[in-house]
Amino acid sequence: MARAARDYDESDVRIRPNPRGSRPRSKDRPAHADAVPGRVVGVDRGRYTTIVEDAAGGHVVTAMRARELGRKGIVLGDHVHLVGDVSGADGSLARIVRVSPRETVLRRTADDTDPVERVLVANADQLVVVCALADPEPRPRMIDRCLVAAYDAGMDALLVLTKADLAHHLNGALFKHSSAKAGAHVIFWGSFNDDRLYTLQMQQMGKHQSSGTSSYDANLCPHH
């Protein structure tokens, strides 16, 4: 016997909820046409210190990464665009909404302690390798690795040999010869008896006399 037909009403219709929400998400993202350019100079636990150019030369702005950037990494030297509060006042926080393509990238290769290759700095023009010629003894293989990393990143290399007055002249000559063959500029840093040589070295660096790495850093960055 055929089953009797029944009347259907709205209670018989099962409507499943939209798993993506009641309103579909648009693929059109904000253009952020009013974003201001800046450069990242510091990274600390999700907060980025940036320099935004202005009429006075530039001011410091603290920013965070916008959600639309996803997991894209931001490193020192990145050219970025910011929106929000870019005044740089105490307690202000801007958002980084764009990261410009990088011109150069200096990477740290993977090793036993860290199996992932990591980006150290972006958009740098020159890598300065500071090494003492004595006390402690120089590490030529480490210098070679630094030079290779610089050339791989498309950067110029400058080798600063400190404590040159404490080392034998042969050590400095060997380092200068091998580094010059690799295409790196070499500068000796120390207390020299030859005033003409001292004047020549200081003109290249534009700094004052020192004998070691700490003194070199202090003269290069006197405010830090």
Task: Quick: pLDDT tens for 11-52.
Answer: 777 777 666 666 656 667 778 889 999 999 999 988 999 999
Domain 125-220 has CATH 3.40.50.720: no
Per residue in 111-149, pLDDT tens? 777 788 889 999 999 998 888 888 888 888 888 888 889
Q: What is the mean pLDDT of residues 62-85?
A: 92
- CA separation, residue 6 to residues 1, 3, 203 (Å): 15, 9, 99
Residue-range domain boundaries for the chain? 36-99, 125-220
Rounded to a whole number, what is the distance in angstroms from the first to the last CA of the chain? 96
pTM above 0.85, yes or no: no
Tell me the percentage of the chain whose pLDDT exceeds 70: 70
CB contact at 8 A, 40 and 50? yes
Tokens read off for 164: 């040159």
Q: Is the pLDDT of residue 59 over 80?
A: yes
CB contact at 8 A, 35 and 82? yes
Longest CA pairwise span in the chain (Å) = 119
Q: What is the pLDDT of residue 172?
A: 56
Q: Which DSSP state fits 76?
A: B
Q: What is the mean pLDDT of residues 162-182?
A: 62
Best CA proximity match to 76, nearest among 50, 42, 47: 42
Confidence of residue 218 (pLDDT cuts 50, 70, 90): low
Q: Which fold has domain 36-99?
A: OB fold (Dihydrolipoamide Acetyltransferase, E2P) (2.40.50)
Phi, psi of 43 (to 5 degrees): -130, 125
Scanning the structure block, which residue is given the tokens 């980084």? 96
Per residue in 77-118, pLDDT tens? 999 999 999 999 999 999 999 999 999 999 888 777 778 888
CB contact at 8 A, 145 and 171? no
**CA–CA separation, 102 vs 48, rounded Å?**
17
